């Protein structure tokens, strides 16, 4: 009984081994048949790489049209070989180095199916293009002007200044027949109502000689944008003014000042103009004249402020009113600060002076109330010298002397 069971088990084992061998043979036969079987594959949208551009440029040529940018292929071959193909690894190259003249050229292309693929085992069944057709034209370069503009407005109280940009010209290159249509390049800086300088990088547009926009992918520009600055200035009317120095009984309360023009219109940086509320024409000493003063003075503006009015000078007239004038001869001349190393002799013995002031005080003052004082503090040499002097009026504060005075003295070394 045990002997029969052992025989059955051995038989089953041999049967299993035989069945396995049969399956292996069948599988080997199936794979072998499929490996040798020819199949087809569509490879669509393969980019055509055009090379040799440098050679064209050396011959002053440029490609203006390519009839095909991509290629569709149907290939066949053994399953094992075709299975390795992937359109991302397939390279199509069209070499343009043979082109040396303008015109339409028909070029062959080469196909590389990628690493590890035996090209000999692949047959091209069909192709969307049997050759690559390119159109080539004469290449020229030229320089054209650049023009810039601003298409917005400015706020009230401001004005648009110059528009600045750089460069003022650019170089363009491309097919001769297209380049010759181009007149200039233009940029437009966009804005609304601005109150300060506006700037930005703006893309260039090419324009034809008839004023229309030129559009082509065949034109190369030395640069595609430029930096544009639209200057904006504040506009302000500012009064003209003079600084009065009180003297000889006169001050602002009894002086009438007229300036022609009374004001001017200027423009400039808002940061500068906001703090300017008047323009000074200088200083006028009221003791330097008797009743009327007139002078034309230059209008001096701070740096970077523009005089829009255009007037460079202003006429000033000052009239002193409500004061009386009298003349006296004064013989009381006093010397102060005499240098110890010198002896002083006063040459001037009497001096005529003109006084101005309140009418009541003018009527009362006499030469006894006045003396002339000259200081020798700055004198350090001998001989006859003329020194500045001042008129001192005692007890009459609202009276002063008009004009300037000098005393002649002689110094002798001790």
Looking at residue 25, what is its pLDDT? 52
What is the secondary structure of 244-284 as a DSSP string?
EEPBTTB-GGGEEEEEESSEEEEEE-HHHHTT---EEEEEE
Per-10-residue mean pLDDT, the chain, length 414: 54 64 55 65 94 93 92 93 88 95 95 87 92 94 96 93 94 95 96 91 96 94 96 96 96 96 95 93 96 96 93 97 96 94 93 96 95 93 93 93 95 90
Q: Which residues of 314-346 are buried (b: 16+ CB within 10 A; e: fewer)?
A: bebebebeebebeebebeebebeeebeebeeee
Residues 317 and 295: their CA atoms lie apart, in Å, by: 7
Q: Helix, strand, or coil here: 65? A: strand
Q: Which residues contact 56 (CB under 8 A, 6 or more apart)?
A: 62, 63, 96, 99, 136, 139
> pTM score, two decimals?
0.59
Residues 393 and 370: their CA atoms lie apart, in Å, by: 5
Closest CA to 50 of 122, 101, 4, 108: 108
Contact call for residues 218 and 64 (beta carbons, < 8 A):
yes
Closest CA to 297 of 237, 236, 238, 241: 241
Residues 47 and 90: their CA atoms lie apart, in Å, by: 9
Looking at residue 2, what is its pLDDT? 47
Looking at residue 31, what is its pLDDT? 46
Closest CA to 259 of 284, 287, 277: 284
Q: Which residues contact 41 (CB under 8 A, 6 or more apart)?
A: 74, 75, 76, 82, 85
Contact call for residues 318 and 255 (beta carbons, < 8 A):
yes
Closest CA to 150 of 108, 194, 115: 194
**Parallel, antiparallel, or unpaired: how do β-strands 38-51 and 70-78 relate?**
antiparallel
Beta carbons within 10 angstroms of residue 8's beta carbon: 9
Residue 22 Cα distances to 19, 60, 121, angstroms: 5, 72, 32
Q: Helix, strand, or coil here: 55? A: helix
Contact call for residues 179 and 218 (beta carbons, < 8 A):
no
């Amino acid at each position: 009984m045990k002997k029969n069971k052992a025989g059955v088990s051995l038989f089953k084992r041999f049967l299993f081994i035989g069945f396995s061998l049969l399956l292996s043979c069948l599988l080997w036969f199936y794979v072998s048949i499929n490996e040798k079987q020819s199949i087809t594959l569509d490879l669509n949208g393969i980019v055509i790489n055009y090379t040799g551009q440098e050679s064209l440029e050396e011959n002053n040529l440029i490609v203006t049209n390519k009839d095909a940018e991509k290629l569709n292929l149907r290939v066949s071959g053994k399953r094992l070989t075709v299975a390795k193909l992937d359109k991302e690894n397939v390279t199509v190259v069209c070499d343009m180095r043979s082109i040396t003249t303008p015109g339409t050229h028909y070029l062959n292309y080469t196909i590389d199916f990628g690493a590890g693929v035996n090209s000999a085992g692949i047959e091209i069944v069909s192709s969307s293009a049997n050759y690559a057709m390119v159109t080539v034209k004469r290449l020229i370069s030229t320089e054209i002007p650049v023009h810039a503009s601003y298409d917005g407005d400015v706020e009230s109280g401001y004005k648009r200044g110059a528009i600045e940009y750089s460069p003022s010209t650019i170089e363009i290159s491309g097919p001769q027949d297209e380049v010759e249509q181009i007149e200039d390049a233009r940029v437009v800086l966009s804005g609304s109502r601005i109150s300060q300088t506006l700037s930005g990088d703006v893309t260039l547009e090419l324009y034809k000689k008839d004023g229309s926009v030129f559009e082509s992918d065949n034109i190369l520009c030395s640069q595609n944008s430029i930096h544009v600055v639209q200057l904006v200035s504040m506009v302000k009317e500012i009064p003209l003014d003079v600084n009065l120095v009180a003297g000889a009984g006169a001050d602002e309360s009894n002086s009438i000042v007229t300036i022609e023009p009374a004001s001017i219109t200027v423009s400039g940086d808002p940061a500068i103009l906001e703090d300017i509320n008047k323009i000074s024409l200088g200083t006028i000493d009221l003791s330097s004249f008797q009743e009327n003063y007139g002078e034309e003075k230059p209008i001096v503006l701070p740096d970077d402020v523009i005089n829009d009015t255009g007037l460079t000078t202003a006429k000033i007239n000052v009239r002193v009113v409500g004061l009386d004038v009298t003349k006296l001869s004064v013989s009381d001349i006093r010397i102060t600060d005499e240098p110890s190393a010198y002896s002083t002799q006063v040459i001037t013995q009497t001096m005529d002076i003109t006084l101005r002031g309140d009418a009541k005080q003018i009527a009362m003052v006499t030469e006894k109330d006045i003396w002339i004082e000259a200081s020798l503090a700055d004198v350090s040499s001998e001989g006859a010298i003329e020194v500045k002097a001042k008129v001192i009026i005692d007890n009459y504060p609202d009276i002063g002397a008009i004009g300037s005075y000098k005393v002649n003295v002689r110094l002798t070394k001790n």
